[in-house]
Amino acid sequence: MAEIFGDFIEPQKDEVEYLIVGFSSASLPLKQRWKNKGLSADFIAGYLQTFFVGRRGNALRNGETIPAHSHNATKYIANELLENAMKFSDESARYSTRISFYLHEERLIFYVTNSISAVNREKFQIYIRKLLSCDANALYIEQMEANALDPESTASGLGFLSMNCDYSAKLAWKFDASLDGDSTDGKPVSVVTTMVCVDV
């Protein structure tokens, strides 16, 4: 049974523009590939520009340019989601990491799905509960100060806080099991889907 944290919105493909990109670990480990995440984020931001709604309430029109603040948000969010997913995926699961976006008239929703080990799942859920129950701005400042003391930290969650505080993004998560992967013990692969929703 799926575990939901936050206001998770299931993907809806009807009458919206969407793009789904997958990254297989078959040819190259994801932890090596995440260093090229910026290229994927650039591609997503560029692809989105073709369909972007520059003004609320307007129908989708080809050729409109994406406002700078939304372009930056798109690139930043895609970059952060890919980095987290690739760094913390469970390599033993042989599960493809997937990122997608769905463009509605007034909002853009990102989803990234990756495998996750039992240990990382527990740690991540503890962080999520803290993020959802605390004041995001106060937690953001606290984490920036902690990062200044330990620049090598890889589990700060600062990216999620920045999405929330800098881009007013709404975040949610769904933890589930998938039969698409290949776990070492023969059981379904544990996966997490992170959802980020921003107004456009």
Residue range(s) defining the domain that contains residue 78: 3-199
Q: What is the domain-level CATH number for residue 133?
A: 3.30.565.10
Q: Tell me how many domains the chain contains.
A: 1
Phi, psi of 119 (to 5 degrees): -65, -50
Do residues 189 and 106 make contact, with C-beta atoms less than 8 angstroms apart?
no
Measured from the Cβ of residue 40, the count of other Cβ atoms closer than 10 Å reads: 19
Q: Render pLDDT for 18-41 as a digit per residue (tens, 0 to 9).
A: 888 887 766 655 555 555 656 778
Outline where 89-180 has alpha helix (H).
118-133, 136-149, 158-167
- First-to-final CA distance of the chain: 33
Measured distance CA(2)–CA(20) in Å, rounded: 22
> What three-state secondary structure class fits 70?
helix
**pLDDT-derived band of residue 49, with 50, 70 and 90 as boundaries?**
confident
Q: Render pLDDT for 141-170 as a digit per residue (tens, 0 to 9).
A: 888 888 777 766 655 678 899 999 988 899
Arithmetic mean of pLDDT, 171-186: 78
Is residue 55 pLDDT above 70, yes or no?
A: no
Query: Which is more confident, 69 or 106?
Result: 106
- Which one, of 75, 39, 19, lies nearest residue 198 by Cα? 75
- Which one, of 35, 3, 1, 193, lies nearest residue 100 by Cα? 193
Do residues 53 and 105 make contact, with C-beta atoms less than 8 angstroms apart?
yes
Measured distance CA(172)–CA(78) in Å, rounded: 15
Q: 173 CB contacts (<8 Å, ≥6 apart)?
A: 4, 5, 6, 8, 128, 192, 193, 194, 195
Q: Render pLDDT for 76-105 as a digit per residue (tens, 0 to 9).
A: 898 899 888 888 888 888 888 899 989 887
- Which one, of 139, 127, 110, lies nearest residue 19 by Cα? 110
Q: What angle do CA 24, 91, 196 make, to 5 degrees?
A: 70
Do residues 21 and 46 make contact, with C-beta atoms less than 8 angstroms apart?
no
Is residue 67 pLDDT above 70, yes or no?
A: no
